[in-house]
Structure 1
Amino acid sequence: MKVNLEYYNEFTIFYRAEGVKLSENINIGSIDLRANGNELHFPSILSFDISGRCITLNDIKDKFSHLEIVDYPGGHSLNDVTTYATKNDSHGVRLGFSFAEKNPDCLARVVIRK
Structure 2
Amino acid sequence: MAFKIAKNPTFKSRVEVDTPNHKGGHDRSTFMAEFSRTTVQELEELRKVPQADVMRRKLVGWDEFNGDDNQPVEYNEDTLEALISVPEALLGLTNAFWGSVVKGREKN
Task: Tell me the TM-score normalised to structure 2 length.
Answer: 0.29
Report which structure shows greater RCO (CA 8 Å, sep ≥6).
Answer: 2
